[in-house]
């Protein structure tokens, strides 16, 4: 373990440090549309306790994990320093065991014999509205359900299970966060987390198709709402807006193997925030996927680069919504298998030589998704430079980005940065040791959270997906010809530029090209060719200025850009620097 | 003293047995009957029943999760030493229970190491106790019950050691007591020599046994039910092959 990582574990205890971080409460219109039945606003204090206890009783009876993990913790503390929110904040209530004890103490007081008999001697405390509002609502939303604690606990106690149960109890008394309920309500309305309506979704796909065409010359389709298709692909919706390179990479892979695939606007989102909220919503959101796949007759459903989406699918879809009349997999498993079987033939690794890559294992891939080898395999197949982080923080030991579990919201920004500390520290080590400049993070939440974390801790890396790299290295049929043609055109343009007439500044003699002028300057004025531009001046600039231009705001025409810019400044108050926003050359 | 000794030897053991057995069976039955709505294995991954069993066994016998790289290996050592010693001590005590005339050979073979374990166990016990006092974070999460059980076990150990090395009860006497209890025959206290320290030890052990079903010590059974370990990555619909279409 590196020195910086080791030092990170020296955490000073700061009880109460987490008390300032609290999620905004839901709006009634979001609460109303949740699949799980919750009040539109927090219940009055005197109604809270009985409702919460009833729900807690239900949780422990419906889930073996909850009952067991309430019962068997020995408070050995092995999990304490494994939680990024504890490392970041130092609040003992942010340790996995400390957080779970917030619920266990209530469970003991109300549901166990020893708790009823001995009270605080065995760590029991009766539930109050204050515990719900000031402890549970705060600290169960300072857990990203990353399950790192479970790896190190001698009994595998999974704090995420307690957090999930705690959140369901909170829901039952109307203490639900706005961020999560809003995202879920957008899925119910528009099919995706970002709330992109159907036309915009389709428009973006077309836009990306054009972008691929422009850079590769190949007609790569990004199909939406095809009536029948073999493959249903579910992207994280952010891939259509902010992480477009990931989407482009995926589309290129499908194109390369001639897949019959489509996305759907009814289920246009891989992510499933039900995982952070309630089993009812988890199931309902997954159901949209299952219905869509059935409708279009998909034989294979593929989930895009998104961590918790993969957990929701891998561990819950079949159990809750099965039996499933299709197979499903992750896009990383898909691409890795294609590479392994040699089906993506034309890979040019050197196209990724500008990056030195390290990998952030998304928690839900590594601990809940059986997905740690494929990611590394793909990167090594498409890049020459890859360096893993310290083994104490990779694979099943990976640290959360700090923004998972439904915490990716503005009001928790400070907590998110603190929670990002362990990941940042590990990245910093490989940046310093190997000059890493690309942090591959195959998860939509990572791609939103990690750039902020890296900036916060001043670590100069770019954050991106794995399929971004695949897309760059994968060469499609016809792409090389296009690129060759494009290059030839560029060279011709350059040659043409070289043929622009020039004038010698020393004697005003004119020449057909810079080259000729330079030769003249060397012979006549003893100026070496390298310094020729001291004497010779291309007449290109003059030419360009003389090209007619038009003002985009009032359609007035001008003899040159300069004139147009002057006009724009005077008439439209647009500064000369921004002139190209309005004036367009007619060249 | 007579009445008290009679109670501890002739009455309490049956109460202890009842509380312990009913308590433990009840707790385990509750875990057994709770449903699991979905499989929730935590990597590194069990991909079949076999590997899930292997993982639970590694956790139970070797405390592998505690040993994991990046974890606290001093805790692993202390904890494992404590448990393995505890186990050996339990096995050693079988000589009072098994074989009417002669103790089975394998139990005899364990006597030496069993006594050694009884001496050694105080070290990890003290370590486990001290770390709760010394480390601010562990102190913060500890409840009185956490100290209580360590102190209880420590006093069982110390009273046992005292009885063995200083009060020196006769093995035949102790065995007579245990075998009589097993045969539901009252023990005539005037016929055996039982030191006070033995009676204290015997009493404390029973307190511990009765305490177990109500406490966190039940983890000894719970560890076999932990879904993150017993579940595995299975399912019909998931595939890792791109050749489905
Ligand atoms: C009757 C049998 C057992 C007894 C009396 C017992 C007792 C205890 C006690 C008192 C502790 C708490 C130590 C502390 O406060 O720090 C403990 C912890 C622990 N036990 Fe057990 N245990 C038993 C069986 C088991 C079994 C079968 C396992 C197998 C997995 C196990 C694994 C652990 C672990 C990993 C810890 C945590 C580390 C520690 O704090 O020592 N125990 N046990
Ligand atoms: S590691 Fe497990 S048993 Fe130990 S305190 Fe944490 S949750 Fe409890
Ligand atoms: S699941 Fe992750 S965030 Fe939650 S307590 Fe465990 S380590 Fe911390």
Number of H helices, E strands in chain B: 14, 0
Q: What are the backbone angles phi and psi of residue A464, rounded to the nearest 5°? A: -160, 180
Residues 272 to 291 of A: which have CB under 8 A from any B CB? 279
Same domain, A289 and A399: yes
Residue after which a domain boundary falls, among A445, A473, A501? A473
> Whole-number mean pLDDT of chain B?
91
C-alpha A227 to ligand 3 mean position (Å): 42
**Euclidean distance between CA atoms A98 and B150, whole angstroms:** 20
Which residues 28-57 of B have a C-beta within 8 angstroms of A?
Answer: 30-31, 34-45, 47
Sites in chain A below the pLDDT cut of 70: 498, 540-546, 587
Q: Return the pLDDT at A586.
A: 73
pLDDT in tens, A266-324: 999 989 999 999 999 999 999 999 999 999 999 999 999 999 999 999 999 999 998 99
Are A467 and A494 members of one domain?
A: no
Binning pLDDT at 50, 70 and 90, where does residue B138 land? very high
In 10 A of CB A148, how many CB atoms?
27
Shortest-distance atom of ligand 1 to CA B147: 15
pLDDT digits (tens, 9 = 90+) for B68-106: 877 788 999 999 999 999 999 999 999 889 877 788 888
Same domain? A350 vs A222: yes
CA A78 to ligand 2 centroid distance, Å: 6
**What is the per-residue pLDDT for A381?**
96
Nearest ligand to the CA of A156 is 2
In terms of domains, do A106 and A125 share one?
A: yes
Query: Which position has the token pair 């539901």?
Result: B184
Q: What atom of ligand 1 comes closest to residue B82's alpha carbon? A: 41
The shortest C-alpha distance from A276 to chain B (Å) reads 15
Please check whether residues A57 and A167 belong to one and the same domain: yes
A196-199 CB contacts, 8 Å cutoff, 24+ apart: A196/A237, A196/A240, A196/A241, A196/A268, A198/A265
Does residue A419 sit in the same domain as residue A558?
no
For ligand 1, atom 4, name the residue with the nearest CA: B217
Domains of chain B are 2-33+71-223 (1.20.950.20)
Q: Can you give the pLDDT at residue A555? A: 83
Strand spans (E) along A257-365: 261-262, 300-303, 327-330, 357-359
pLDDT of residue A540: 60
Tell me: do A458 and A551 sit in the same domain: no
Give per-residue pLDDT as tens, B51-61: 888 889 998 88
Give how far Cα A451 sits from Cα of A383, A457, A458, Å.
21, 10, 10
Same domain, yes or no, for A245 and A259?
yes
Is any ligand 3 atom within 6 A of the Cβ of residue A144? yes
**What is the number of structural domains in chain A?**
3
Query: Please, what is the angle between helix A45-62 and helix A96-111, to 10°?
Result: 100
Check whether residue A234 and residue A382 sit in a common domain. Answer: yes
Domain ends where: A175, A198, A227?
A175
Q: Which residues of A touch B144 (CB under 8 A)?
A: 120-123
- pLDDT value, residue A174: 95
Q: Using the 3D structure, point to which of A473, A500, A525 is the last residue of a domain.
A: A473
Q: Assign B169 a pLDDT band (cuts: 50, 70, 90).
A: low
ipTM comes to 0.94
Same domain, A229 and A166: no
Phi/psi of residue A434, each to 5°? -125, 5
User: What are φ and ψ of residue A177, in 5° steps?
Assistant: -80, 150
Q: B235 at the A interface (CB within 8 A)? A: yes
Is residue A122 domain-shared with residue A250, that is, in the same domain? no
A299 contacts chain B (CB < 8 A) = yes
Q: Is there a single domain that holds both residue A108 and residue A122?
A: yes
CB A237 within 8 A of CB A189: no
CB A222 within 8 A of CB A251: yes
Cβ within 8 Å of A, B 175-234 = 214-216, 218-219, 222-223, 225-229, 233
A102, A132 contact by CB (below 8 A): no
CB-based contact A571:A554 (threshold 8 Å): yes
Domain that holds residue A215: 181-473
Q: What is the pLDDT of residue A541?
A: 53
Angle of helix A64-71 versus helix B12-33 axis, rounded to 10: 150
* Chain A residues with beta carbon closer than 8 angstroms to that of B46: none
pLDDT of residue B1 exceeding 70: no
Question: Has residue B242 got a pLDDT over 70?
Answer: yes
Asked if A322 reaches chain B (Cβ–Cβ under 8 Å), the answer is: yes
- In this predicted structure, what is the pLDDT of residue A16? 94
- pLDDT, residue A536, reads 81
Q: Report the first-to-last Cα separation within chain B, whole angstroms.
A: 83
pLDDT of residue B117: 95
d(CA A271, CA A275): 9
Model pLDDT for residues A169-198, shown as the tens digit of each residue:
999 999 999 999 999 999 999 988 888 888
């Amino acid at each position: 373990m590196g020195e910086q990582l080791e030092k990170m574990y020296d955490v000073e205890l700061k009880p109460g440090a987490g008390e300032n971080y609290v999620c905004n409460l839901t709006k009634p219109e979001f609460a109303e549309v949740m699949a799980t039945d919750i009040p539109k606003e927090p219940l009055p204090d005197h109604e809270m306790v009985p409702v919460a206890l009833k729900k807690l009783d239900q949780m422990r009876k419906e889930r073996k994990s909850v009952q067991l993990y309430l019962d068997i913790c020995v408070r050995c503390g092995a999990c304490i320093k494994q939680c990024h929110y504890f490392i970041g904040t130092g609040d003992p209530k942010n340790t996995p065991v400390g957080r779970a004890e917030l619920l266990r103490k209530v469970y003991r007081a109300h549901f166990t014999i020893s708790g009823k008999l001995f009270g605080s001697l065995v760590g029991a405390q009766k539930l109050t509205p204050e515990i719900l509002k000031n402890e549970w609502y705060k600290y169960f939303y300072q857990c990203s359900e990353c399950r790192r604690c479970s790896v190190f606990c001698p009994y595998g106690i999974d704090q995420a299970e307690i957090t999930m149960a705690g959140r369901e109890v909170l829901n039952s008394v109307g203490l639900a966060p706005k961020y999560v309920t809003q995202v879920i309500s957008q899925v119910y309305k528009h099919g995706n987390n970002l709330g992109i309506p159907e036309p915009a979704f389709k428009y973006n796909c077309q836009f990306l198709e054009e972008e691929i065409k422009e850079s590769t010359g190949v007609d790569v389709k990004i199909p939406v709402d095809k009536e029948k298709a073999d493959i249903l692909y579910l992207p994280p919706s952010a891939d259509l807006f902010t992480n477009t390179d990931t989407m482009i990479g995926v589309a290129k892979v499908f194109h390369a193997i001639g897949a019959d695939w489509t996305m759907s606007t009814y289920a246009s989102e891989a992510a499933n925030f039900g995982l952070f909220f309630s089993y009812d919503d988890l199931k309902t959101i997954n159901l949209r996927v299952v219905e869509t796949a059935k409708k279009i007759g998909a034989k294979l459903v593929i989930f895009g680069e998104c961590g918790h989406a993969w957990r929701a699918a891998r561990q819950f879809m079949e159990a809750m919504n099965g039996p499933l009349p299709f197979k499903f997999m992750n896009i990383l498993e898909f691409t890795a298998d294609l590479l392994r079987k040699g089906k993506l033939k034309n890979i040019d690794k050197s196209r990724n030589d500008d990056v030195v890559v390290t990998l952030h294992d998304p928690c839900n891939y590594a601990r809940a998704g059986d997905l740690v080898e494929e990611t590394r395999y793909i990167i090594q197949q498409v890049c020459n430079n890859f360096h893993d982080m310290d083994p104490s923080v990779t694979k099943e030991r990976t640290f959360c980005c700090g923004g998972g579990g439904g915490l990716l919201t503005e009001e928790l920004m400070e907590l998110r940065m603190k929670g990002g500390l362990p990941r940042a520290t590990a990245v910093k080590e490989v940046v310093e040791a190997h000059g890493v400049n690309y942090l591959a993070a195959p998860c939509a939440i990572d791609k939103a959270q990690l750039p902020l974390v890296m900036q916060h801790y001043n670590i100069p890396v770019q954050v991106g997906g794995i399929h971004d790299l695949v897309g760059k290295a994968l060469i499609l049929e016809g792409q090389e010809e296009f690129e060759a043609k494009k290059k030839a055109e560029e060279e011709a343009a350059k040659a043409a530029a070289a043929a622009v007439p020039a004038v010698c500044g020393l004697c005003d003699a004119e020449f057909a090209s810079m080259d000729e002028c330079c030769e003249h300057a060397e012979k006549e004025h003893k100026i070496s060719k390298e310094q020729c531009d001291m004497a010779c001046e291309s007449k290109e600039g003059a030419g360009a200025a003389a090209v007619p231009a038009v003002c985009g705001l009032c359609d007035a025409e001008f003899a040159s850009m300069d004139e147009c810019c002057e006009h724009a400044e005077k008439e439209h108050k647009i500064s000369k620097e921004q002139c190209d926003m309005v004036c367009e050359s007619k060249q | 003293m007579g009445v008290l000794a009679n109670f501890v030897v002739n009455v309490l053991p049956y109460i202890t047995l009842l509380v312990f057995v009913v308590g433990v069976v009840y707790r385990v039955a509750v875990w057994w009957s709770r449903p699991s709505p979905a499989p929730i294995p935590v990597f590194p991954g069990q991909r079949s029943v076999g590997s899930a069993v292997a993982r639970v066994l590694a956790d139970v016998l070797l405390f592998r999760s505690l040993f994991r790289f990046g974890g606290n290996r001093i805790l692993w050592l202390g904890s494992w030493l404590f448990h393995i010693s505890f186990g050996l001590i339990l096995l050693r005590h079988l000589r009072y229970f098994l074989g009417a005339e002669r103790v089975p050979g394998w139990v005899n073979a364990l006597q030496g190491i069993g006594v050694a374990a009884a001496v050694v166990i105080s070290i990890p016990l003290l370590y486990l106790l001290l770390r709760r006092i010394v480390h601010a974070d562990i102190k913060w999460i500890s409840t009185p019950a956490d100290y209580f059980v360590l102190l209880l076990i420590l006093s069982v150990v110390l009273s046992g050691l005292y009885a063995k090395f200083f009060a020196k009860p006769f093995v035949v006497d102790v065995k007579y007591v245990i075998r009589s209890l097993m045969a539901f025959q009252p023990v005539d206290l005037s016929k055996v020599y039982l030191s006070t320290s033995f009676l204290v030890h015997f009493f404390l052990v029973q307190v511990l046994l009765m305490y177990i079903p109500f406490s966190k010590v039940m983890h000894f059974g719970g560890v076999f039910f932990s879904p993150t370990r017993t579940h595995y990555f299975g399912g019909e619909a998931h595939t890792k092959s791109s050749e489905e279409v």
